[in-house]
Amino acid sequence: MARKELAQMGSMTRGEWLMLATVGVLLVLWIFGSSLGVDATTASFVGLSILLLSGVLTWEDVKSEKGAWDTLIWFAALLMMANQLKKLGFTSWFGNLIGDSIGSTMHGTSWIIILLLLNAAYFYTHYFFASGNAQIAALYAVFLGVGLHLNIPAAPMALMLAFTSSLYCSLTQYTHARGPILFGAGYVPTGVWWRTGFIISLFNQAVFLTVGLAWWKVLGLY
């Protein structure tokens, strides 16, 4: 069956050979770009230029890729704003403000309640970030320090924040690198994504605060 289909396809065309060669060039530039002094973005534009100049693609082909343009615009704008907020110190200030506010008002409260509040604050602060790693770098240590200061056992506090640093990526279409790509396909409206992401976030936190804490207790982590 496979051989029959290949025979029907015929031999590779000039455009297909050029596409294959371009992919090979791009792989080399992406893998060894740091050694060659070639940025990954520059390599991408080199590949696009080759395909356009050789006639494999036309500019109309490029313009018709609406999903790719959506991804480019989302990443360019949101990552730029997120980086600028980080440079200005807003994200660190905001995280410290929330952590300190919870810490100053919750002395004497059950550590499970404090853990719930700190984790929720850390979770939903991600609405202000377009990168999971950026939030981890800016706020993970801050919230962990507040939790330890309020006598939350170290293992549950660290593990909750660590797992949350992955779970919050589904909140919106811009809170993780894969989001703009999936959103650009046009299948899920913004309102549906935000609503569903919020509902799932509540379920995830409930699971980790019940089953998760119980299992970590069985394992003797606290």
pLDDT of residue 211: 94
What is the per-residue pLDDT across 139-166, written as a single tens digit (0 to 9) for each?
888 888 888 888 899 999 999 999 999 8
Instruction: Read off the pLDDT of each residue in 4-33 and give the average, rounded to a whole number.
Output: 85
User: Largest Cα–Cα distance of the chain, in whole Å?
Assistant: 76
pLDDT of 76 reads: 66
Instruction: HSE, CB side, 13 Å, CA atoms: give it for residue 3.
Output: 0
Tokens of 120: 């929720």
pTM over 0.75: no
Domain ranges of the chain: 2-64, 75-218
Neighbours of 122 (CB within 10 A): 26
- Mention every residue, 6+ apart, whose C-beta is less than 8 A from residue 37: none
Tell me the per-residue pLDDT of 46-97, one tens digit each, with 9 for 90 and over. 998 998 998 888 888 887 776 677 667 666 666 677 677 777 777 678 767 7
Average pLDDT estimate for 100-127? 84
Contact assessment for residue 172 and residue 195, using Cβ atoms and an 8 Å cutoff: no
pLDDT at 123: 92
What angle do helix axes 90-105 and 111-124 make, rounded to 10 degrees?
Answer: 160
Report the pLDDT value the prediction gives residue 208, as an integer from 0 to 100. Answer: 92
SS3 content of the chain, % helix, strand, coil (to 5): 80, 0, 20
Q: 118 and 146 in contact (C-beta within 8 Å)? A: yes
Query: What is the mean predicted confidence (pLDDT) over 16-29?
Result: 91
